[in-house]
Amino acid sequence: MLSSISINNYALIDHLQIDFSSGLSTITGETGAGKSILLGALGLVLGNRADLTALKDNSKKCVVEAKLAIGTYALESFFEEADLDYEQDTIIRREILPSGKSRAFVNDTPVTLLVVNALKAKLMDIHSQHQTSELSDVNFQFTVIDALSKNHTKIESYKRGLLQLNALKKELYLIKETRREANQQYDYNLHLFEELDAAKLIVNEQETLEVSLDKLNNIEAIQLHLSEALSLTISDEIGIQSQLSAVASKLQKVAPFSKEYEAIASRFSSLKIELDDLVGELENANEDLEFNPNEAEKINDRLQLIYNLQKKHYVNSIDELIRIQTTLSEKLLQKENAEEYIAAKHKEIEAISEKLDRVAHRISDARMKTVPKLKKSLEQLLSELGMENARFSIQISPSQKYFTNGKDELKFLFSANKGGNFGELKKVASGGELSRIMLSVKKILSEHTQLPTIIFDEIDTGVSGEISNKIAQIMQQMSQHMQVITITHLPQIAAKGAHHYKVFKSDVNGKTTTNLKQLSPKERVIEIAEMLSGKEISDSALSHAKELLN
């Protein structure tokens, strides 16, 4: 429930801080005193769009803070999902800076307006005589019927099943689309795959072939350089091999004279062994060189095939060609297995649909049993509110479609006059009638579900006398289950509140400000007397006010 609200620098309010209590609270005040400003500030803190014109002083920021007792609303999971600190006394704060920037906080954590609005939907219902359009909204009508039918758990189960069904239908659609595309491309993809498959591509093959072809194409130059290298190495007169042998021989003769000479001689011996080994490899390499035109042609043809495939598929390596071949193979397999996939998905969809139909049937049964009770309760309440001839026609019919809350279609029709034709609420009911219907609906809902705090903004417009007494009684009954705050211009309703607040204007230093205060018992008598007779309060008005309060 709303525990308190603090308003700073908003519209005609400099600073206002007021506490609220459970039960029925009434707010009164002269026309233009600022009751709409109070609701505007409350709407702002609960997520309405901000406007710089809301600032009383453009050089200072506007701050509106609402404290709400939420311990009985089971909102821990909501706070956890929104990554917010859960507090039984939660504070929502809204700030509008002179720059126009707006900020919102829940328990001092910055949040988006989406989070604030989602929290508001669970905590506060602000209702005015102009906000009765939801009565004609089929989703709201179902909400009322399902609350009385205790369908919440069944509908949650149905929604989970519907999510599964829609996901499976989407998968089936994608499989069919893949099959359609695969059918269109199958022959071409098969040709591409067979072409790559026939090529028998091997990782790193291209690099090896390119090296071999380069060697074959330069074989004459290679032979010339190898021969010259051998000549320089093994020539008897100037060859490196014979000269190194001579050096090694000389060093062997001086090696016995010192360890230093012995080490040098040993290193030269090792060098000679290495050189001899290299000469052997050089001779073998020279002997193995032989130009084979058939081999060169074979390698060239193979490389040309690889180059052509790379050009065709816009790639630069065999690795990429192999990946394309794998992708083509998967596409061909998808096409070949598509019918099997589709059949499997159809079975899954059929199984989920059967389960969903059973849940939808239970939801529908509960609704059917509830409709007569709802109809009777609404007509009875409206009769007490001066609409003796009000009648409802509530028709629930099964559908083949899966809606978000079941498989029912709903017609919620109304007739205000005896023998009158039934029609849609928004077409056949006046504003005052819609207000009384909404009050009746909220009254019934308050007995079957834990509604948030509800604020009625002059919903009693257009009624008087005994009807206003009945409206007040209904609000009192609602306040046994929830916090009810009503802005009213009727003394009969104002007197029924457990708590009475007055909105008033005052002039301070030549500036008009709006204030709100809770009235004492004495002040309540005077306020209600003024509502009865005006500023000139008569003794009879005072007496009547006391009667109403007692």
Q: In which element (H, E) is residue 511 found?
A: strand 511-518
Q: How far is Cα 160 from Cα 271, in angstroms, rounded to an integer?
A: 83
Q: In which element (H, E) is residue 192 found?
A: helix 152-199
Report helix angle 240-254 to 219-234, nearest 10.
30
Write the DSSP symbol of residue 53.
G
Helix/strand/coil for 48: coil
Instruction: Give the DSSP letter string of 341-403.
Output: HHHHHHHHHHHHHHHHHHHHHHHHHHHHHHHHHHHHHHHHHHHHTT-TT-EEEEEEEEEEEEE
Give me the mean pLDDT over the 472-483 stretch.
91
For the cut 70, the answer to whether the pLDDT of residue 130 exceeds it is no
Sign of CA dihedral 362, 363, 366, 368: negative
Give me the mean pLDDT over the 476-505 stretch.
92
pLDDT category of residue 216 using cuts at 50, 70 and 90: confident
Q: How far is Cα 526 from Cα 540, in angstroms, rounded to an integer?
A: 12
pLDDT of residue 433: 86
pTM: 0.67
pLDDT tens digits for 248-303? 788 888 888 888 888 988 888 888 888 888 887 777 777 666 667 777 888 888 88
Per the prediction, the chain carries an average pLDDT of: 88
pLDDT of residue 485: 95
Return the biggest CA–CA distance within the chain: 149
Mean pLDDT check: name the lowest of 57-61, 208-212, 400-404: 208-212
pLDDT of residue 523: 95
Amino acid at 50: A
Are the C-beta atoms of 86 and 75 separated by less than 8 Å?
yes
Are the C-beta atoms of 186 and 335 separated by less than 8 Å?
yes
pLDDT of residue 237: 64
Q: How far is Cα 99 from Cα 6, in angstroms, rounded to an integer?
A: 22
pLDDT of residue 408: 96
pLDDT of residue 131: 66
Read off the tokens for 209.
């072939």
Question: Can you list the alpha helix ranges (DSSP code H) found in 425-490?
Answer: 425-428, 431-448, 465-478
For the cut 80, the answer to whether the pLDDT of residue 331 exceeds it is no
pLDDT tens digits for 501-541? 999 988 877 788 899 999 999 999 999 999 988 888 888 99
